[in-house]
Amino acid sequence: MTARSGQIRSLAGLGIFSVVIVGLLLGLGFWQLQRRVEKHALIAALDERLAAAPVALPDAAQWPSWTPAENEFRRVTFQARFEPHPDGRVFASGSAIRPDVTVPGMWVFSPAQLDSGATVVINRGFVPETEKAEVTPPPSGPVTLTGYIRFPETEGMLTPHEDPSKRLWFLRDQRAMAKVLGWGDVAPFYIDLETPAPANGLPKPGPLQVHLKDDHMQYAITWFGLAAAVAIAFAVWFARTLSDGKDSLETKGNPD
């Protein structure tokens, strides 16, 4: 193999590698732009749901077809009667969707029976760690509730295990609580209560505010910048290699 052919192979190999890397980085940049469009559509949809007037909770026959993408954070209102079962507690260090929840404490979950006989789990609100002894029992008799449809969280690798003896969980999963605490069959969603609040204010319900993180443009700029850097680096190396090769040929042709 001559030096010339070796140089050509080296140029071709690095050129192909650079094209692949630039293409990959550009793809990541355009993917982030697409994610940004989707995130903005989601933010608009959630803002619309949160601002809308509450509607009557649909019949249980519709619940199996509900999805978080279509139904999460919809405001609903309905009449129910809290059941005489022990409540479940979910530890929280704060909340990204309740601006008034900034200290460690717990969410209090209780089952409530609808007029149809179906059971819906209600997140009755937040209790700070320092005031956990002040949890008010749910009201007896029929009560009109207004709140937001929420879907259960998914357990992660680092999620601590629940402590049934303390009725304490570390993720909001109403079905897991129902199984342990004997609530029976419950809806595939739970309700984050907005109103009413108990007389002493605990557990404290309240309105939700969703603020989704939107860093996709910064990520896109980063990927496009890296693609440009790789392309420029290859172009500089390519030009220098050609120049060195030309100088080498001239030197061989003119030994003096």
Q: Which residue has the higher pLDDT, 23 or 39?
A: 23
Q: Which structural domain range is residue 138 located in?
A: 74-195
**Mean pLDDT across the chain, nearest whole number?**
85
Flag whether 176 is in a domain.
Answer: yes
DSSP 8-state class, residue 156: -
- Distance CA(123)–CA(177), nearest Å, equals 12
Flag whether 114 is in a domain.
Answer: yes
Flag whether 187 is in a domain.
Answer: yes
- pLDDT at 247 exceeding the cut of 90: no
Q: How many CB atoms lie within 10 A of CB 244?
A: 11
| 14-18, 138-142, 174-178: least confident range | 14-18
> Which residues does residue 143 pair with via DSSP β-bridges, in sequence order?
80
Nearest Cα neighbor of 240 from 11, 6, 65 is 11
85 and 149 in a single domain? The answer is yes
Q: Which residue has the higher pLDDT, 2 or 12?
A: 12
- Strand 105-114 with 75-82, pairing: antiparallel
What's the whole-number mean pLDDT along residues 51-61?
Answer: 91
Whether 33 contacts 215, CB under 8 Å: no
174 and 83 in a single domain? The answer is yes
Flag whether 65 is in a domain.
Answer: no
For residue 51, give the H/E element and its range: helix 3-51
131 and 21 in a single domain? The answer is no
191: CB partners within 8 A, 6+ apart: 76, 120, 121, 122, 123, 145, 147, 148, 149, 150
What's the gap between Cα 75 and its chain centre? 19
pTM score, two decimals? Answer: 0.71
What pLDDT is stored for residue 38 in this prediction? 67
79 and 191 in a single domain? The answer is yes
The total domain count for the chain is: 2
Flag whether 68 is in a domain.
Answer: no
What pLDDT is stored for residue 108 in this prediction? 96
- Strand 143-150 with 190-195, pairing: antiparallel
118 and 191 in a single domain? The answer is yes
- Distance CA(203)–CA(248), nearest Å, equals 82
